Copies of this chain bind each other. A is one copy, B any other.
């Protein structure tokens, strides 16, 4: 029996842990694992793949990125149509199917984000033996309480804030750090709290520059002459603000925009020297944290279990501190956002963090 695996979309710490889990669990069942390279692209004839044995995954648990490579867009890119059905062109699907058949793949594990899982759902509905593994560094998928990569990204934000704090203190500056999070502010919120930021601006909570500026000036009056501001790339900017989109990034990730805009406004309103930094690609890479290694590995093992039981069309999921699964169709297109009145947000406010309201 053969199980295929591919990674799709932006890379994320923990992808290799999933591969490690899949390969280890498959090996114990006597299954062979075929790793397709560069996402769905590897499925196109003649097929770009490698056979993965336990020896090939020694040490990858600790490595960021993915040894299989991944693709953000490619031949399988598709507008998501009505009813949550991705519309990958039929001729592409047919070609890929030929590879599946020639390689006699009994189950295909797709590790990807919302878009890739929607593609997986389309394929499943067309009869493919699909197992989904959620990959969202933003941790914003409703159907799973936690995803790998998030803890690592939060750590990158904390590392960044640690570095900015000493220089902010020395120069009595306001430092604005732009981090990931187009729809959900989890990275900004967790990173901001753990890294000692005093202002955190999220997509979910509209903010006012005046309120933030007041907060900074109040801090100054209390003797805190520096302030760290974390802003999610999708922060809910006051209307009328124009954010330049970095052409270099092909629209994929909006870099260098929001942080600079916020920094400029805050400098005008507070009169304090203000600098901005964009973490950008620095928060995607690097070694995964312990938690992400374990979570990714468990996801991979569960994917093989589902495959061995012929339980297709399901996505691995973390619920109530155990790894299980849910139907893919119940998982896609449903975001888990920061709730403005949740216990976590209240705790942030309780320790004096300004959310800009």
Contact = CB atoms under 8 A, between A and B. Distances in A.
Contacts of A194: 61, 290-291, 293-294
Contacts of A66: 170
Interface of A: 7, 10-11, 13, 15, 20-21, 24-25, 27-28, 38, 54-55, 58-59, 61-66, 69-72, 145, 151, 154-156, 158-160, 162-172, 175, 190-191, 193-196, 222-224, 248-249, 256, 260, 263-264, 267, 274-278, 280-287, 289-291, 293-294, 297-298, 301-302, 304, 320-324, 342-344, 346-347, 349-352
Given A248-B275, A286-B163, A21 B347 contact: yes
A350 B55 contact: no
Given A24-B351, A304-B350, A282 B290 contact: no
A323 B301 contact: no
Nearest to A253: B275
B70 A170 contact: yes
Contacts of A21: 347, 350-351
A354 B145 CA distance: 29
A306 to B, nearest CB: 13
A172 to B, nearest CB: 6
A231 to B, nearest CB: 14
Contacts of A70: 170-171
Q: Chain copies in the assembly?
A: 4
A284 B343 contact: no
B170 A59 contact: no
Contacts of A151: 290-291
B172 A69 contact: yes
B276 A352 contact: no
Given A248-B260, A263-B248, A275-B249, A163 B172 contact: no
Nearest to A38: B172
Which of A62, A190, A278, A282 counts the most B-chain CB atoms under 10 A from its CB?
A282
